[in-house]
Amino acid sequence: MSMADMTTSRPEEASAGHADGGSGAPARECVELSVERWRCGAVTKERDLIAEEMPVALVYHGVPHVVMLATPADLEDYAVGFTLSEGLVAHPDEIRGVEVVWAKDSAEVRITVAWERFSALVDRRRNLTGRSGCGFCGQETVAQAVREAKPVGPGARLSAAELHDAIAQLAGLQPINARTGSVHAAAWIVPGKGIQLVREDVGRHNALDKTIGALVRSGLDPTGGALLLTSRASFEIVQKSAAVGVAFVAAFSAPTAFAVRLAERVGLTLVAFAREHQHVVYAHPWRLEPQ
């Protein structure tokens, strides 16, 4: 199966939150509940939308690899992005197929890869549960967790105006967060074109993997744009981005020193505290034009 065969979303949609996939009925991305809301001493009974979260098992050739807690949307994108950003394959062509199978309270994503990659994958199997906010969940050794990414290439350059236009635009491209206020987003920005796609998830790493998977499945070049995330810039955010060749990452919140050191080593431009009328560049500022 080719990447085109697995594509269900297009970059021009610039949207997120459409569950799709294989057998059974896709889960809802959010649920409506009865709540009691307290304001200034007064209590009212209301209906509220909250984001869904469920176990998502990634299974390679029938062998369980990891179970993550994630928003049940765009799981094919997630599987492709995770497989690439974790270095389980070296190239998208080595991913041969993805199928999402829905159960009542969980989902299983069945992935096939080139046989030689599967043999290596079994040796570093991560058959443990990961939280939605998890970075290194399930890694057995420090060497597995702190994989040194290869240096990135020249990558894309953005102007400060383009970055801040994207920051202002992103809030309107997060339909799940607009309803629930509780999910992260990762957006793909192309110079001169703005945000081309967005994916959302309760976990920042999951949102990033979904966006990586979506851009690869849509035939977009990971070296031709920048990532914007509504989260902090942790080590694994930089690690996953660099693993697929992304050379420019901007985050709404703070970075960690571990992430900054990795960005410096691999040549990745890292911007944090990217908010209206402000940002801070922590590594390789030459890709961000001041005007």
> For residue 273, is it within any domain?
yes
Q: What is the CATH number of the domain that holds 250?
A: 3.40.140.10
Q: Indicate the pLDDT class of residue 242, thresholds 50, 70 and 90.
A: very high
Q: Does position 221 have pLDDT exceeding 60, yes or no?
A: yes
Answer whether residue 3 is part of any domain: no
pLDDT of residue 149: 76
Judge whether 147 lies within some domain: no
| Within-domain flag for 25 | no
The pTM assigned to this predicted structure is 0.85
Torsion of CA 12, 18, 22, 27, to 10 degrees: 170
From CA 160, how far away is CA 192, in angstroms rounded? 12
Higher pLDDT, 9 or 224: 224
Tokens of 64: 């369980």
Could you tell me if residue 195 is inside a domain? yes
- Residue 237 inside a domain? The answer is yes
| Active-site choice (30, 40, 134, 137) | 134
In which band, very low, low, confident or very high, does the pLDDT at 130 lie, cut at 50, 70 and 90?
low
Domain total in the chain? 1
Assess if residue 56 is contained within a domain.
Answer: no
User: Which domain, by its residues, includes 194?
Assistant: 158-289
In this predicted model, what pLDDT tens digit does every residue of 131-187 receive, in sequence order? 555 544 444 544 444 566 789 999 999 999 999 999 999 999 999 999 999 999 999
For the cut 70, the answer to whether the pLDDT of residue 106 exceeds it is: yes
Torsion of CA 163, 199, 230, 155, to 10 degrees: -40
Residue 276 pLDDT greater than 60, yes or no? yes
Q: How confident is the model at residue 17 (pLDDT cuts 50, 70, 90)?
A: very low
Look at residues 53, 51, 74, 78 and name the one whose alpha carbon lies nearest to residue 65.
Answer: 78
Question: How large is the average pLDDT for residues 261-272?
Answer: 97
Q: Is 137 a catalytic residue?
A: no
In a domain, 190, yes or no: yes
Residue 203's nearest CA partner among 35, 32, 58, 73 is 73
